[in-house]
Amino acid sequence: MSKLDEHLEAALARVDQAGRRRVLRPASLTANGRIVRDGRSLLDFSSNDYLGLATHPLLTERAREWTARYGTGSGASRLVTGTGEAVLTLEARVAAFKGKEAALVFASGWQANAATIPALLAAIPGTAVFADRLIHASMHAGLANTRQHRFRHNDLSHLEELLATKGREAPARLILTESVFSMDGDVADLPALAALARAHDAILFVDEAHATGVLGAGGRGLAAQVPGINVVMGTFSKAMGGFGAYVAGSRTLIDWLTNAASGFVFSTAPPPAVFGAIDAALDLVPGMDAERAHLVALADRLRAGLATLGIDHGASASQIVPAMIGAEHDAMALAARLEAKGLLAAAIRPPTVPAGTSRLRIALRAGHEEGDIDALIEAITACR
């Protein structure tokens, strides 16, 4: 064993000891809200394929078409070799979808956040950063070595207090939040945040990873209706059924990111198949009101079912519904028992969520039926 592997084995042993070793298991998504995992078909409450587009024939077909037309790889960073007309047209479609002047596609949501935030901070050194306590890890990656003022989750009075006391001398203030929080399924009050940002002359950055496709008119997300949000980020990897991400905003913002966002400048463009799938998703999503209404009904049914069991679902107001369990071990044990019964509802535990708030993160898919929700509630009843 190499010296490196010895160190890594020791590090893994520490993870084992904490009961937090993660392993990859063979799985593949199927339609109708199912997933095949370790060879078994499970009722899936853990994927983010909210609208069922990941297996939609139009996306598959368009990905194939773009591959046939443009090849399997993009060859280089878009700045080095130039960029396809089709991709520029696609970005204009994304901008229009989000109600913004311009948009830039990134290879992933993680990369978009981790690259965009430092690019903004580089443009205005000394910016004071105000971050909701529950923002996603990819935003933290963009904040490495940056001092942050963290406000209590969705607590705008706390944010206001911090803006008034901590950010006044700074050349700019940057507020970071999500419109739908990934592990809680609750929603930020974007109009109030935009008003606060205006009052304190702050830049507002909103991550719409879990709202895009699902919430807002035509699935445009929640930010599209709210003026005054400067930077909107979202992914194509969840409800949009594909891969990659976007940042949308003013033309100047996108011009700056094109020059300064390291994860864009120094990374090969996503392959044509990915762009093709995004193009097809943009054709479909505005017309999927029936699927969105179905998700709302499923989520209401699930929250009511959990309430009858006395299980807290936090402030969930979306297709993401946490079933709060508390102790890490209890959440893990419940998820394992559910899986044995044929249901996948993954337990989420620290460090992804704060200690003592381990939960089943239940994500609904348009392919679910009401009976699937009832089956989940029954199974939780039997397995607790």
Ligand X SMILES: Cc1ncc(COP(=O)(O)O)c(C=O)c1O
Site for ligand X in 18-77 (CB under 6 A): none
Smallest distance, Å, CB 371 to ligand X? 28
Smallest distance, Å, CB 238 to ligand X? 7
C-alpha atoms less than 13 angstroms from C-alpha of 318 in its C-beta half-sphere: 30
Residue 207 as a binder of ligand X (CB under 6 A): the answer is yes
Does residue 288 sit in helix, strand or coil? coil
Residue 179 as a binder of ligand X (CB under 6 A): the answer is no
- Give the DSSP letter of residue 187: B
Using CA atoms, how far apart are residues 169 and 218, in angstroms rounded to an integer?
A: 41
- What single string gives the DSSP state of each residue in 304-340? HHHHHTT---TT--SSEEEEEEESHHHHHHHHHHHHH
Residue 344 is inside which H or E element, if any? strand 343-344
The candidate with the shortest Cα–Cα distance to 48, out of 172, 206, 211, 197, is: 211
Of 185 and 305, CB closest to ligand X: 185
Among 116, 154, 235, 316, binds ligand X (CB under 6 A): 235
Helical segments of 232-327, H only:
251-260, 262-265, 272-284, 289-308
Burial (0-12, 13-18, 19+ Cβ within 10 Å), 58: middle
The candidate with the shortest Cα–Cα distance to 170, out of 203, 207, 132, 131, is: 203
Size of the site for ligand X (CB under 6 A): 13
Of 70 and 236, CB closest to ligand X: 236
Smallest distance, Å, CB 185 to ligand X? 11
Using CA atoms, how far apart are residues 171 and 251, in angstroms rounded to an integer?
A: 22
Of 109 and 271, CB closest to ligand X: 109
Of 167 and 314, CB closest to ligand X: 314
Binding mask 105-144 for ligand X (x = CB under 6 A): ---xxx--x----------------------x-x------
Smallest distance, Å, CB 175 to ligand X? 15
Residue 264 as a binder of ligand X (CB under 6 A): the answer is no
Smallest distance, Å, CB 182 to ligand X? 3
Amino acid at 25: R
Among 209, 229, 273, 298, binds ligand X (CB under 6 A): 209
The candidate with the shortest Cα–Cα distance to 211, out of 300, 320, 117, is: 320
Active site residues: 48, 136, 178, 182, 207, 210, 238
Residue 178 as a binder of ligand X (CB under 6 A): the answer is yes
Site for ligand X in 314-373 (CB under 6 A): none
Residue 216 as a binder of ligand X (CB under 6 A): the answer is no
Smallest distance, Å, CB 107 to ligand X? 8
Name the segment binding ligand X (CB under 6 A); options: 11-19, 103-111, 217-225, 353-361.
Answer: 103-111
Residue 212 as a binder of ligand X (CB under 6 A): the answer is no
Of 181 and 305, CB closest to ligand X: 181
Residue 97 as a binder of ligand X (CB under 6 A): the answer is no
Using CA atoms, how far apart are residues 182 and 361, in angstroms rounded to an integer?
A: 9
Residues β-bridged to residue 205: 176, 231
Nearest position to ligand X, beta carbon: 109
Q: Are 321 and 302 in contact (CB under 8 A)?
A: yes
Residue 237 as a binder of ligand X (CB under 6 A): the answer is yes
Residue 182 as a binder of ligand X (CB under 6 A): the answer is yes
- 233 φ, ψ to 5°? -115, 150
Of 100 and 200, CB closest to ligand X: 100
Smallest distance, Å, CB 199 to ligand X? 26
Query: At a CB cut-off of 8 Å and minimum separation 6, what does 300 contact?
Result: none
Q: Which residues bind ligand X (CB under 6 A)?
A: 108-110, 113, 136, 138, 178, 182, 207, 209, 235, 237, 245
